[in-house]
């Protein structure tokens, strides 16, 4: 067994054991990054730290000119999940069926704008601030959740898939749990496929 060393992924504080796969650390033994992603980790991190929030689509469009194939997109998605586990990213719900991420170290005030200093209590008494109201988005319906999973499938397959992909999708437990028939899933999938190609044009 080889010596332990710090993981080479700059967002990861874990250690790597052995030399067979230097990008597989003890914090996440399943992470394996395709070459185009592993060569651009720091570039992706700079992008993350300079955006309020983003999806995988945004990174693919802005940094890679929509050139990533489905395997490379999957690799980037796995890296985002590892970043969440490491506390480098946070998840902020979904946009168009895709997970929205944000840099965990982003300040609450806009970049470059310092928060206003508090007035000294001798000159201005602290006003009685009303209790903050939590604005939580309404919960998604089961159909919306299923739609999001199907939209993610269409995105990961670049709008094109074969029979084996279809069988894998409809037999996934997280798809089956919604109780939709194959015909209903197929119809929803075709609608998402049409939307995908409209956005690509």
> Does residue 194 belong to any structural domain of this protein?
yes
69 domain residue, yes or no: yes
Q: Are 97 and 57 in contact (CB under 8 A)?
A: no
Residue 88, domain CATH? 1.10.10.10
**pLDDT band of 162, cuts 50, 70, 90:** very high
If one compares 38 and 124, the residue with the highest pLDDT of the two is: 38
pTM for the predicted model, two decimal places: 0.49
| 3-state SS assignment for residue 89 | strand
Q: Cα–Cα distance between 60 and 34 in angstroms, integer?
A: 14
33/86 same-domain check: yes
CA distance 14 to 126: 45
In a domain, 49, yes or no: yes
Domain range for 62: 29-103
Number of domains in the chain: 2
Taking only the tens place, the pLDDT of each residue in 94-106 is 888 888 998 887 5
Q: 147 and 86, same structural domain?
A: no
| 47 located within any domain | yes
Last residue in a domain, options 80, 103, 126: 103
- DSSP letters along 107-173, please? -SSPTT-PPPPPPPTTTSPPP-PPPPPP-PPPPPPHHHHHHHHHHHHHHHTTT---HHHHHHHHT-H
Q: What is the pLDDT of residues 163-184, one digit of tens each?
A: 999 999 889 988 888 888 999 9
What's the chain's average pLDDT?
Answer: 79
Relative to beta strand 89-95, strand 98-103 is antiparallel
Specify the 3-state DSSP secondary structure of 145. helix
Among 50, 76, 103, identify where a domain stops. 103
pLDDT in the model for residue 22: 47
The mean pLDDT of 20-47, rounded to a whole number, is 73
Residue 138 is predicted with a pLDDT of 74
Residue 41 lies in a domain: yes
In a domain, 187, yes or no: yes
In a domain? residue 109? no
120-142: average pLDDT: 67
DSSP states of 38-70 as a string? HTTHHHHHHHHHTSS-B-HHHHHHHHHTT---H
């Amino acid at each position: 067994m080889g010596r332990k060393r710090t993981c080479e992924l700059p967002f990861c504080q874990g250690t790597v054991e052995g030399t067979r796969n230097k990008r597989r650390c003890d914090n996440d033994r399943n992470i394996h990054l395709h070459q185009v992603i592993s060569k651009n980790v720091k570039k992706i991190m700079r992008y993350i730290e300079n955006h309020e929030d983003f999806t995988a689509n945004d990174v693919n469009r802005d940094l890679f000119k929509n050139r990533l194939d489905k395997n490379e997109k999957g690799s980037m998605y796995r890296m985002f999940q590892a970043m969440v586990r490491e506390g480098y990213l946070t998840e902020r719900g979904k946009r168009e069926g895709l997970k929205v991420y944000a840099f965990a170290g982003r300040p609450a005030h806009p970049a470059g704008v310092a928060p206003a200093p508090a007035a000294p209590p001798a000159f201005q008494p602290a006003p009685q601030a009303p209790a903050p109201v939590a604005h939580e988005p309404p919960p998604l319906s089961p159909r919306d959740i299923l739609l999001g999973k199907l939209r993610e499938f269409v995105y990961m397959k670049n709008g094109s898939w074969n029979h084996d992909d279809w069988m894998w999708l409809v037999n996934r437990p997280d798809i089956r749990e919604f109780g939709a028939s194959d015909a209903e899933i197929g119809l929803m999938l075709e609608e998402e496929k049409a939307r995908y190609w409209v956005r690509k044009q």
